[in-house]
Amino acid sequence: MNKHLTARTHIHNEAEADNPLLRVKACKYRDRVNSLLKSGSSIGLRFKTRRAWLCAGAAALLLGACATPQKITGFGDGPAFERAGRFALNVSGANGQREALQGGFAWRDTGRLLVLDLANPLGSILARIDVSAASATLTHSDGRMEQAPNPDALVEEVLGSPMPVRGLRDWLQGKVGDSAISEVKKDEDGHISGFSQDGWRVRLSRYDNEGPRLLQMNRSDTSRNISVRLVVDDS
């Protein structure tokens, strides 16, 4: 049996038994996960990253909750729109297979440059995505870099499923952008609360002065249903 799966099952069983040494063992497990994430091997990298993310999720449950990464500093001049919080991604395949990932995010958007950090549930940054008008660049935790015309494809490289980064530049601010939109709804305060755009069904709620603090996004492809939930912890 895979040693990481064995460790995860062992800790989970102890959680059910309410072992008083559980948090100590969870911390040791966290250190093992972080060590795995820092490995420089390129063999099976995507599988290893996603496996480590899932293992980190199990440990985070024992530690209480997903950690929110620190705000991004030192990128872009002038004022910027900033958010930080947690995400949950769920994918249901046509064959009945289900996959779930959780983690944290930090967002800084100057309008000209967007920087997005994606972290595992323990707060370790797994990837940074820099988005300019010309291209998007993904920087892995080991320093490797990849480029693509848009950021959505790069997020899928990290998470294994798309997240609508381009749309979120507007949605996180309670706006809808320029592309075609339908089924627009507003709450009693006049905030946009729901709509469909670019293949995503979007719900926005829990507004503060900056925008929604809860975003729920769903889409259906030919082979899978995708659900993304963002909770803003800090503004």
Give the separation between CA 228 and CA 214, rounded to whole angstroms. 11
Q: Domain count of the chain? A: 2
Please, is 154 exposed, middle or buried when counting C-beta atoms within 10 Å of its C-beta (0-12, 13-18, 19+)? buried
Quickly count: other Cβ atoms within 10 Å of residue 126's Cβ: 21
179: in domain: yes
CB count within 10 Å of CB 55 equals 25
Spell out the residues 6+ positions from residue 55 whose beta carbon is closer than 8 angstroms to its own: 4, 7, 8, 29, 33, 36
Reference 124, options 29, 23, 53; nearest CA is 53
Q: Residue 25 has what pLDDT?
A: 43
Q: What is the mean pLDDT of each run of 10 residues along the chain (235 residues)?
A: 36 40 44 46 40 45 55 72 93 86 92 92 88 90 89 84 91 93 95 96 97 96 90 79
Considering the domain architecture, whether residues 226 and 128 belong to the same structural domain is answered as yes
**Is 74 contained in some domain?**
no
- The pLDDT of residue 58 is 44
On whether residue 127 sits in a domain, the answer given is yes
- How many helices and strands in the chain, by DSSP H and E? 5, 11
Q: Which helix (H) or strand (E) holds 183?
A: strand 181-186
Q: Which domain holds residue 219?
A: 81-234
Find, among 87, 59, 90, the residue nearest to 160 by Cα.
90
Q: Report the CATH number that the domain containing residue 169 is assigned in CATH.
A: 2.50.20.10
| Tokens (6 digits) for 82 | 């900033």
Say if residues 60 and 102 touch (Cβ distance below 8 Å): yes
